[in-house]
Structure 1
Amino acid sequence: MESQKTALILIGYQNDYFSPDGVLYKVIEESSKVTNVIANTVHLLKCLASSPTLIVTTPIFFTPNYEELIEPIGILKTIKEVNAFQMGTPGSEAIAELHSFEDRILEVPGKRGFNAFINTNLDQILKQRGITDIVLAGAVTSICIDSTGRAAHEKGYHVTTLSDCTSARTVFEQEFYCSTVFPLYAQVMTNRELLERLNFTVYI
């Protein structure tokens, strides 16, 4: 695993998920706290900030009338019902903890569903930069993380999911996906194990 060929993909680090007043905060609150997701992600970003690792965020946005969603079901239906991730609203904005890394994070717009490769130019960006390894962090573990990870694997990337930088709907779900589902197509490791793999020897 080489830093210059690795991309950290941040998924769902928006206020509606991770801020206490976010409309979907309760969905991942327990899992996020148990694994200390925000603190671990910030630690990782601090370490990678001066490295050649590509850091990408793929926020999800919708217009006020959710015209992008045609007869949505499941979590997308819930997102529409609670008016989450509306473009231009505080809930759709990146969490405050990411603000100090804005100059290091490349925002790739267009995500409207689970898979960060759909309706975006993410794959093109990664290929242009010679990326071979994808590292996933964010929410929701069983939905956007899994969907994006499978797509990345099918596109030929080596996939790593960070067990302590991803949030699920329950602690059980988080543990189940990390122990049983992700290993079918990806490596699972903590942020510190990733840093060791990338030859970082000093932790912040």
Structure 2
Amino acid sequence: MSATPPIDRARTALLFVDPYNDFLAPEGKLWPMVASVATELGLLNNLRKVVAASRGAGLPVIIVPHHRWKDGDLDGWDHPNPYLLGGYQHKVFETGSWGGDWFVDFAPQPGDLVATEHWGSSGFANTNLDFLLKQKGISRVILIGLIANTCVESTGRFAVELGYHVTLVRDATAAAGPEAMHAAHDINGPTYAHAIVTTAELLAALASPKI
């Protein structure tokens, strides 16, 4: 697996998973869960660097958002999983609330795309993400955002099943603890991702001569 693969800018997009206040702001409902790992890695600064470098390199930025809580969402469901139930009980990413709004540094900019909201962990399942990427001629994706071993991993695995080249950025994500991060990048990641890089490695690749 190449540590710093060349970036085919004409065919690559940055996928930013779940850039909500509830995840990334200190007052967010889910920030306490990821705060230790996020702080140790310098998550917010790394996300800022990756987004800025991707824009500077001309890569499309696509927001991949989780479903926002609405009252009655799960009424009549046969098989809501624990992940869905936990989010529902705590009104995570509540529609119309501050927590369900974009973290200010990562709000969509003109020219960005926002995929339809995913219910479970994969940004591709039951959304228009694959359609958006294909319309842009994209066959390679770089994944950042939250959480490393749930939505980021599931989106990456689904991308591979659809034929995309997948790059993970190990310090532009976070999880509930170091064990989850280890599983995401050192155990599970190598079974599907084509490249697993650091922010610094990705920035170097984006700054290299255009291909």
Contact 1:30 1:171 in 2 (8 A): no
Aligned to 1:155: 162
Q: What percentage of aligned pairs have identical amino acids?
A: 26
What number of residue pairs does the alignment pair up?
200
Q: Which one of the candidate residues 188, 195, 199 is aligned to 2:203? A: 195
- Superposition deviation, residue 15 in structure 1: 0.8
Q: Secondary structure at the match of 1:159?
A: strand
Q: Which one of the candidate residues 34, 49, 52 is aligned to 2:55? A: 49
Tell me whether 86-95 or 65-74 shows the greater mean CA deviation: 65-74
Alignment of 1:1-204 (within 5 A): 1-68=7-74, 70=77, 71-99=79-107, 102-186=109-193, 187-200=195-208
Letter in 2 for 1:195: L
Contact 1:4 1:53 in 2 (8 A): yes
**Following the alignment from structure 1 to structure 2, what is the Cα–Cα distance between the partners of residues 26 and 193?**
28
Letter in 2 for 1:35: L
**Following the alignment from structure 1 to structure 2, what is the Cα–Cα distance between the partners of residues 63 and 78?**
11
CA, structure 1 residues 20+11, in 2 after alignment: closer, same or farther (shift >3 Å)? Answer: same
Letter in 2 for 1:37: L
**Following the alignment from structure 1 to structure 2, what is the Cα–Cα distance between the partners of residues 166 and 62?**
20
- Superposition deviation, residue 66 in structure 1: 4.3
Contact 1:16 1:91 in 2 (8 A): yes
Contact 2:15 2:144 in 1 (8 A): yes
**Following the alignment from structure 1 to structure 2, what is the Cα–Cα distance between the partners of residues 68 and 110?**
15
- Superposition deviation, residue 68 in structure 1: 4.7
**Following the alignment from structure 2 to structure 1, what is the Cα–Cα distance between the partners of residues 44 and 111?**
17
Q: Which runs of 5+ in 1 are unaligned?
A: none
